[in-house]
Amino acid sequence: MLPFVAGAGLANIDLTFSGLPRLPNEGEELYADEFSIHLGGGSLGTLVNVSKLGIPVRVGTYLGDDMFSRFVFKELETLPVTITNLYKADHGAIPLNISVAALTAHDRTFLSYTDKKAPADNELQAVFELCRGARIVDMQMGYIEVYRKLKEEGSTLIFDMAWEDAVPRSVYESYLELADYWTANRQEALKFTGCKDVSSAARVLRNWLETPIIKLDASGCLIYDGEEHIIPPVREFVHIDSTGAGDAFLAGLIYGLYHQRPIEDAVLMGNITGGKCVTAKGALTAFVTEPELLYLFEKYRNADGQQKSTDVPKNTLYTDNERGLDALVGEGPSFKRTEKPDMPDSLS
């Protein structure tokens, strides 16, 4: 059996209102130019992206008999993932995360709802059996006892949970003590560490992680392994919508780690998959295929992929003593849109 990647968590649905002139004031109604419904991000979004790169994937999620769960069932039938439904509760609840995404020309805002409670003991056992033997596991809140067992059995654990002010810092620490990697963004790294800059935050994060990774939005990623490296973004795609970019980045990172690439290569792959995601509206609309990923990886790792001399060379890792983070801040993406790939016909 081929090595596989696994994870469990809520399915997300995004109800997207785009083309808004601005966000409405309280009590005000505004009409959007466009409306669409998409599968959202989270663990399911990450693992769907991973499956598109040719890696066997096992996903546990929660689907009931409501209209939103039926929509997810239908969407998953077109994707190459093996799904285990963990939902065993009575009929009537909506065990998903549902988000209204409001997109203006400048930013996006979300309003979300979920009815899912903490996993029961039988769910935890089902998640353990689902993930047991995985080469890489995507970590989500609520399954820490499962991750302790998987860590003992040798799985690589990647923590990818957004920062929530209501969650005590000690809870995040308990997950980071098990995690091999945490793909924090700039704000999450600063909030967790209490630092004022990402360089200091990366050094603090080494108390838990051998190689901290901090996503810097349009400025690429910072890696700290005792020295500070910046992996610049891939400027290959036209930016449309950032929804799901973090999940897509994680998929590229997982691909690199799955194939035992150096961490710098894995992060560059994450920059490619994250960059492709933003070329269409919705978290799971634009994918990178494995051949496309490998082509772009070779292009931007080699001299042929360098930008014009006034830009940052894409194949360069910068240390503290060379051109560092400050030189990259404020450099926005310049992307070229590509077509959505064909979907497979059936669930694997």
pLDDT of residue 147: 97
5-8/57-61 β-pairing = parallel
pTM given for the model: 0.79
How far is the CA of 79 from the CAs of 52, 58, 179, 343, 344, in angstroms?
8, 12, 28, 7, 6
pLDDT of residue 241: 60
b/e burial code for range 12-38 (CB count within 10 A of at least 16 → b)? bbbbbbbebeeeeeeeeeeeeeeeeeb
pLDDT of residue 118: 77
The secondary element (H helix, E strand) that includes residue 172 is helix 169-176
Give dist(CA 171, CA 118) in Å, integer. Answer: 14
Give dist(CA 45, CA 121) in Å, integer. Answer: 25
Phi, psi of 18 (to 5 degrees): -115, 160
pLDDT of residue 313: 34
Task: Provide the angle, in degrees to the nearest 10, between the axes of the packed helices 42-51 and 245-258.
Answer: 50
Query: Over its length of 348 residues, how does the chain's per-residue pLDDT go in tens digits?
Result: 679 999 999 999 989 898 999 998 999 999 999 998 888 778 888 998 899 899 999 999 999 888 999 999 888 888 788 889 998 766 567 889 999 989 888 877 889 988 767 788 888 999 999 999 999 999 999 999 999 999 999 999 999 877 788 888 999 999 999 999 999 999 999 999 999 999 999 999 999 999 999 999 878 899 999 999 988 888 777 676 666 677 888 999 999 999 999 999 999 999 888 877 666 665 566 678 899 898 889 888 874 343 332 233 333 332 232 233 333 333 333 223 233 333 333 333
